Structure 1
């Protein structure tokens, strides 16, 4: 057995991992891969799609992102504080039917890498956890949920508690999928936190970082469990579009 296969949780139909390397390990052996970045990329995707827009994930916020936005006939998100940025509260004011290129080092990068595989790529967060779980149950197959996490100052992965919560919110609803130990642990964290979800997101490191910078509204929007029915799926153009119309009710 190769080293990579050891970490692919191959005896289970629902799997959980962290970051870019988790995507690289699990996307090639998955039918569906769910990217989680609660604060804030996948929450931003949910907000834009609720306004009938689409989001192109991009890993870099540099000249190549501006060129990509021109190619996609889309607006390029800038730094926090600008009208279009990686801020759910700002994007909630966006015009409907907008096309946005949204760079981020975590969720967007994981999504961008995942699209090069044959699996279906979904953007999940706390807001759409129930809708995404229902979609996965109807699609079936092998699903891997990736918590994107954040970055330490040296660029290494910092696991984000908020991402594990959202991953667990989805995984805890997947029946009769067989959860790996990693996936089961995420589900258990969510179940233990469900009754105090918003305060815990606000109190965790990522939440405190945003609140200290004046973005309490972003944290609040990101904490609204099952407030959205949007199912963001990456299409063949590389954009997240809403696939909730395909969900049988």
Structure 2
């Protein structure tokens, strides 16, 4: 599938007063791009961007949307999130460990989200996934929440948009080291690769070399995906903290047909 290559205005990361992208790093000669984290997302800005945070944000978004819950992402995980939720008549989700200490709260855990009843609107604070999503949306990109659970549905949606002439970027969110530098997380590479492999299988061409690496990384572990996710650093960390069910929930490939697209403040299902 050949598509018209269009270039979105790049999003300047917080703290930058100029465009920091060097020649080639925007991958603009390719219709399908891949780069890491908020700075990478800004560099490879495209018409449609799939954000992937497998062991937290986007998997939880997909589970919530599956259950008919309107998800309002929020950049900060502090007192501002509580005010934001109250103003929008929504329930604020708290961190996994906080939920253990606060009975009756809704957790950012995807396994816990699958058990939520009687809630229609929820605020999901996330310094990674939400920050990337809002920055991209502010720059004019259509933002999609992708995960292993809904990878094929997201691929089908993006492929349709590309047939209309859109360019695409897939952004694995990654994690943070203690010094706040980006830690590329292999589970997010696999999640991004699952979406990219789906695009290739649907006939999409024009992947950048970076996108090809993610695609091939996913294909390499697909046959034993659950074990790979459980054995990676992020999976081991969650299991050690008592959240092995979250790893299992995140590893369920293509169990969902939802396509959460950020429309205004909320993720809305655009799946067919």
TM-score calculated relative to the size of structure 2: 0.86
Matched, 1:242 2:265: no
Structure 2 match to 1:124:
146
1:21 aligned to which of 11, 19, 39: 39
After TM superposition, the structure 1 = structure 2 runs for residues 158-173 of structure 1, keeping only pairs within 5 Å, are 158-173=183-198
Shift of 1:79: 2.2
In structure 2, what is the Cα distance between the partners aligned to 1:207 and 1:2?
A: 33
Structure 2 match to 1:51:
67
Structure 2 CA distance for partners of 1:23 and 1:3, relative to 1, 3 Å: closer
Q: Deviations over 1:186-211 (max 9, x none)?
A: 00001111111010001000000000
Gaps of 5+ in 2: 1-18, 100-104
Shift of 1:2: 7.6
Shift of 1:5: 4.6
In structure 1, what is the Cα distance between the partners aligned to 2:93 and 2:22?
A: 35
Matched, 1:6 2:55: no
Structure 1 match to 2:12:
none
Please identify runs of 4+ aligned residues in structure 1 that moved more than 3 A: 1-5
Matched, 1:180 2:198: no
In structure 1, what is the Cα distance between the partners aligned to 2:23 and 2:158?
A: 23
Q: Secondary structure at the match of 1:9?
A: coil
Greater shift in the superposed pair: 129-138 or 1-10: 1-10
| 2:21–2:43 CA contact under 8 A, matched in 1 | no
In structure 2, what is the Cα distance between the partners aligned to 1:4 and 1:240?
A: 32
In structure 2, what is the Cα distance between the partners aligned to 1:200 and 1:49?
A: 26
In structure 2, what is the Cα distance between the partners aligned to 1:18 and 1:96?
A: 36
Structure 2 match to 1:34:
50
| 1:53–1:96 CA contact under 8 A, matched in 2 | no
Structure 2 CA distance for partners of 1:173 and 1:67, relative to 1, 3 Å: same
Gaps of 5+ in 1: none
In structure 2, what is the Cα distance between the partners aligned to 1:127 and 1:160?
A: 17
Shift of 1:73: 1.6
| 2:155–2:198 CA contact under 8 A, matched in 1 | yes
Matched, 1:209 2:237: yes
Shift of 1:54: 1.4
TM-score calculated relative to the size of structure 1: 0.93
Shift of 1:96: 5.1
In structure 1, what is the Cα distance between the partners aligned to 2:39 and 2:188?
A: 16
| 1:52–1:97 CA contact under 8 A, matched in 2 | no
| 1:51–1:96 CA contact under 8 A, matched in 2 | no
In structure 2, what is the Cα distance between the partners aligned to 1:3 and 1:21?
A: 9
In structure 1, what is the Cα distance between the partners aligned to 2:227 and 2:240?
A: 15
